[in-house]
Structure 1
Amino acid sequence: MQTMRRRETLTVQLTRTLSERIAAGQYAVGARLPSETEMINEFGVSRTVVREAIANLRANGRVTTMQGVGAFVMQQDKSDGFQIDTANLSAVQEMVSVLELRIALESEAAVLAAQRRSPEQLASMREALAEMQAAITRGEDAVQSDMKFHRSLAEAAGNPHFLKLFNYVGELLIPRARLQSVKLDAVPMQEYLARIQREHEQICYAIEKQDPEAARAALRMHLSESKSRLQRSIAQLIA
C-alpha cells in the first residue's frame, strides 16, 4: 500500500497525483477513476480526503461525477480559466479571502432565491437541513448536507452562473474552513455544527418568507461569522 507523505495536505497531494495520472493518460478521457475504497486502500487516506480531491478535480474541470456510479475523466479544455491554487487553501488567511468572495457571491444569490425560489427548491433546502441535523445527531461532520444546502440556495437564485461559481469555490473551501476553525478554536464539533445549523435555518426562513433583505442579511451574517472565527484563529496563531 502506498502511504502519502504529510509535508502538505493530503488532499493537495492526492489531487495532484490524480491530476498527473490524468495528464499522463493513465486515466484516459471517459475512463472511470478508481472507487473511493480503492483510493483509500492505495493511498492510505480517509474517505473525506478522497471526496475533497474528487471535488477539486471536478471544480477544475478534470472529472465529472455520476451519483452512485463514480468519477469520470473529462476532455481537458486548453484554457485554464479562473482558478484558486488549492495548495494555498491550507493557509487560514487564504480561507478568509475565499470566504470574502463567497459573501459577495452568495448574499446576492440569497436575494434572488427569496424572489424566485420554487416550492420544490425550498423543499430541497429543507431536506438538506434535515440531513444535516441527522448527521450532527450521528456525530458526523455533515459536510455533504452543508454543501447541499448552499448548492440548493444557489440553484434557487435562478441564474446558472451562481451555481457554477458556488460549485467551484464552495467545494474547495467548506471542509477545510470547518476543520481548521474547529481545530484552532477548540470548539466541540457538534457545538460548532449546531451553530451553523441555526444560521442555515435563519437563511432558509427568510427565503421561505420571500424576504430578500432578510435573506441577504442572514446569509452575510452566516459567512461573516465564519470569517470572524478564522480571523480570530489567525490572531491566536501570531500572538
Structure 2
Amino acid sequence: MAAHRTADLVEELRRRIVDGEIAPGQKLPSESELITAHDVSRTVVREAITRLRADGLVRTRRGAGSYALTPPVESGGAWPARPVRTLADRRALLELRTALESEAAALAADRRTTAQIGAMRDALDSFDAAADAPAAALEHDFAFHRGVAEASGNPFVLDLIDAAGPAMIAMPRHRLEVSRGSGADAGAVGHEHAAVLAAITAGDVRAAAAAMRTHLVGSLRRLTGE
C-alpha cells in the first residue's frame, strides 16, 4: 500500500512539474502540506521526493525545502530522439548543442537581419529583467537561442531548436541557492549572451562561434558545478 501511495505521489508531482504547474525554480509544497493534501505518511513523502531527485526533477536544500528543476526533454518522435532525464543526458545534450549552436551563431553573423538583431536584443533584455523569476528567465533564454537559430537562415537548425523547446535550457541547481542577481555565475550568463549578440551584430563569424561556444561550455560548467 505504501509503495502504491508513493508511486501515485511521484506521478502527481511529476505531472505538475512537467506541465509547468510547478515552474523551474519554484518551491514544492512543504512536507506537511503534502502529507495533509494527499493523506500520506511522512515516509511516503520523503520517498517520493527522493525518486524525483533521482529523476533530476527536484533539488532539495537542507532546511529550505525542495525546488523544481527543468523538466526532462521527452522524446516525441522528433529531436532529441531519446528522453533527457539524467545529469549525464543533459551533459550530452549540451555537448551537442555546443557544436550545433556555435555554427548557428557563425551563420547568424553572416546572414542576420536588422529585425532579427532586434528580436535577440529584446530576448536578452527580458532575460535580464527576469532576475527573480527563474521560469520566465528560462523562457527568455530559450527565445534568445531560438533567435540565433532563426538568424542562421538554416531552417533545419531552427527545426531542431524548436523540437527541443525551452526544456533544452537546463536549470543550474545552484541558481536555486542564491538569487540570480547575487550569483557570480548568473552575471556571467548575461555577459556571455551579450558577447554572442555583439559578435553577431558586428558580422564577425569567428567571434560569434567562439562566443556561443564559450557560453555553452560555461552552461555545462554551471550545470555540473565543475
**TM-score band w.r.t. shorter chain:** 0.5 to 0.7
Shift of the alpha carbon at 1:222?
0.2
Identity percentage of aligned residues: 33
Shift of the alpha carbon at 1:56?
5.6
SS state at 1:222 partner: helix
4+ residue stretches of structure 1 with deviation over 6 A? none
Partner of 2:200: 207
Partner of 1:85: 82
- Whether contact under 8 Å (2:108, 2:151) holds in the other structure is yes
Distance 1:199 1:168 in 2: 24
Q: Deviations over 1:70-108 (max 9, x none)?
A: xxxxxxxxxx3544433x42x111110000110011000
Partner of 2:92: 97
Distance 1:197 1:4 in 2: 40
Please state if 1:46 is matched with 2:22.
yes
Q: TM-score, normalised by structure 2?
A: 0.65
Number of aligned positions between the proteins: 173
Distance 2:224 2:189 in 1: 17
Pair 1:170–1:100, CA change in 2 (3 A): farther
Q: 1:147 aligns with which of 142, 149, 154?
A: 142
What is the aligned-residue RMSD (CA, Å)?
Answer: 3.2
Distance 1:195 1:104 in 2: 21
- Whether contact under 8 Å (1:110, 1:153) holds in the other structure is yes
2:82 alignment partner AA: D
Pair 1:194–1:112, CA change in 2 (3 A): same
Shift of the alpha carbon at 1:140?
1.1
- Whether contact under 8 Å (1:92, 1:180) holds in the other structure is no
Q: 1:163 aligns with which of 139, 142, 158?
A: 158
Unaligned runs of 5+ residues in structure 2 are 1-6, 27-69
Distance 2:12 2:188 in 1: 30
Partner of 1:237: none
SS state at 1:6 partner: helix
Distance 1:83 1:200 in 2: 24
Distance 2:143 2:217 in 1: 20
SS state at 1:5 partner: helix
Q: TM-score, normalised by structure 1?
A: 0.62
Q: 1:124 aligns with which of 116, 119, 126?
A: 119
